[in-house]
Structure 1
Amino acid sequence: MDQRGPVIQGALLRRRLAELRRQRDLTQDEVAKALGWHTSKVIRIEGGRTGVTKVDLDALLRLYRTADSAVAEELHQLNKGARTKAWWNDFKNDVSDAYLSYVGFEAGASVIRQFQPLAVPGLLQTRAYAETIAHTRTDRATHERVVQLRLLRQEMLRQRENAPREIFVLDEAVIRRRVGIRVDRSIMPDQLRHMVAVAQEGEHVSIRVVPFEAGSHVGMIRGSFTLLEFGDGLGEVLHRENSDLHETLIGGDSLISEVRTDFEAILEESLSPSDSLSLITRAADEMR
């Protein structure tokens, strides 16, 4: 089974088809004219707004003069993989398609970088914390399913042969807010101790905290975001979300480089990994 999953394989397929077109010095209009298609069809295929049938893929490969090559076999395998059902498809009626697309990218990333100014990252949340957060944003019908998806994301990443490197940078406000205090005073200190335990279990997870003493920083303006890296030439993926937005950008979008620069700037303002864990531990102890 390909560990990259259908979302990443589909993105790789589209990227390589666009590269082949450019190598042949063809525009999308010229491809459409040569194949008797509307230009919008080529745009939808390369943009990921429609799947690629085997017949259409064969037609493109013939036009790009790669139909009988190892490249063609690779692209057919990617297309086959892109059509497989993923574990997150079980949640398609519970969350948006845009969010599930992000989950698909996250599932196959080699590096995950995330900044959170207000809440504990989903990949670090305990069930109790996740339930508290989900309860404030979803109705009862979808509450449990959202929590299940969040916890399953954690589990599936842990089961991967090559675990991704995960770097989380949190504003100190994240560890000071007593989430769940009206329900159970132990929810937040337990959450903080869980984060420390996760970071201490292995070298692949790093948690950094930007202390209040650092003053203002660019993350206060940028807001929460996640940057994903891949080891197969896909490039970086940027995901941003709030209550009204789920946005995933792929490849050469200029915003990705801007956000990467901002992440490094925020990282410079943060405490070292060991000092960050010490601060989180002290915060948990003060909540007793």
Structure 2
Amino acid sequence: MTPLVDPSLNRRKLRLALRHARENAGLTQREAARNVEWSQSKLIRVETGTVGVSVSDLRALLALYRVDHPDRVAELEQAARGSKGPSWWSSFHDVVTPQFAQYLGYEGAATSLHTYHPIVVPGHLQTKRYAEALLAPRGLDPERLERVVTLRMKRRERMFDNPGGPACVFLLDEAAVRRQIGGPEVQSEQLRQLLDLGEREEIAVRVLPFEAGAHYSTLGSFVLLGFPDDDDLLYLEHAAGSMTGGEDLDLLARYQECFQTIEEAALSESDSADLISRIQQDLGVR
């Protein structure tokens, strides 16, 4: 059975198509909204993929933009029908911020994911026990902690256990693989998972050794998402989280250059696996 397409992916498809169609028609957002008797904020929400689009609203926009090829209209109408409804993370609304929900929508559509973490193993790669130990000092009540961990595990499963996932490069600082989160047994299990995931063709796990010294991003982690049909996106991971794409090309370019610099200084995949294996052995867990 073909898996259902997440509504966020259909919203993204419509966002790109409708923005490009409006620009090709030579209309501003204000002009387009006025012509179909919408508020400008409604059009903005559609063009940012925040909301779905009804088929009748879609037809009004396509008529305005003079998009009339039957196959293209049918394709977008199908996307509009699939743009409504909850995304896979909607049931976790109590632990997902609007900003992170928007990021998850982009992540699900990305064809590549490049990330650097200087302190701990990133959420994409964490085991359940590692995630629980990492979150424990935050003082969350047990139910909320379990919800966050479950979300993290479901996200990992969707990314790595389904066909068509993004090609991933994870650059981890040596501190991230040496820092014992949850004690030797939990850390050993986590390192074993890094080794197992690193053996997959679509996943590269590499370590930036201590000897590499200072670099641009010694103060924080970041994610770069790549798309074949849209601008790349930068997600800076901190308490509130922040994203930038085509609206801040200078910042995006700086982090793309930063990632390339770190990648050049990092150990190869093979040498990284050897280092992780030695660290795991030193933990003395059988």
- Whether 1:142 aligns to 2:169 is no
Q: Distance in 2 between matches of 1:278 and 1:27?
A: 55
Unaligned runs of 5+ in 2: none
- Whether 1:266 aligns to 2:262 is yes
Query: Which residue identity lines up with residue 220 of structure 1 in the other structure?
Result: T
Q: Distance in 1 between matches of 2:109 and 2:12?
A: 12
Deviation sequence 1:197-237 (CA, Å, 0-9, x none): 2212x21111111111111111214x211112234x13323
Runs of at least 4 residues off by over 6 Å: none
| Length-normalised TM-score, structure 1 | 0.89
How far is the alpha carbon of 1:134 from its aligned partner? 2.1
How far is the alpha carbon of 1:283 from its aligned partner? 1.4
Q: Distance in 1 between matches of 2:151 and 2:214?
A: 34
SS in 2 for 1:238: strand
Partner of 2:172: 170
| Length-normalised TM-score, structure 2 | 0.90
How far is the alpha carbon of 1:67 from its aligned partner? 4.1
Out of 192, 202, 205, the residue aligned to residue 204 of structure 1 is: 202
- Whether 1:281 aligns to 2:277 is yes
Query: Which residue identity lines up with residue 195 of structure 2 in the other structure?
Result: V
Unaligned runs of 5+ in 1: none
How far is the alpha carbon of 1:6 from its aligned partner? 1.9
SS in 2 for 1:282: helix
Kindly indicate whether the alpha-carbon contact (under 8 Å) linking 2:10 and 2:82 is maintained by their aligned counterparts in 1: yes
Further displaced range: 36-45 or 111-120: 36-45
SS in 1 for 2:181: coil
- Whether 1:228 aligns to 2:225 is yes
Partner of 2:242: 247
Partner of 2:215: 217
Query: Which residue identity lines up with residue 194 of structure 2 in the other structure?
Result: M
* 1:66-145 equivalences in 2 (<5 Å): 66-67=67-68, 69-137=70-138, 138-145=140-147
Q: 1:158 to 1:44 in 2, by over 3 A?
A: closer
Query: Which residue identity lines up with residue 156 of structure 1 in the other structure?
Result: R
Deviation sequence 1:50-73 (CA, Å, 0-9, x none): 432322211111111124532222
Q: Distance in 1 between matches of 2:196 and 2:226?
A: 25
Identity of aligned pairs, percent? 36
Query: Which residue identity lines up with residue 189 of structure 1 in the other structure?
Result: S
Q: 1:205 to 1:135 in 2, by over 3 A?
A: same
Q: 1:203 to 1:21 in 2, by over 3 A?
A: same
Partner of 2:192: 193
Partner of 2:153: 151
Q: Distance in 2 between matches of 1:50 and 1:132?
A: 36
How far is the alpha carbon of 1:118 from its aligned partner? 0.8
Partner of 1:35: 36
Q: Distance in 2 between matches of 1:103 and 1:44?
A: 17
Q: 1:275 to 1:269 in 2, by over 3 A?
A: same
Partner of 2:56: 55
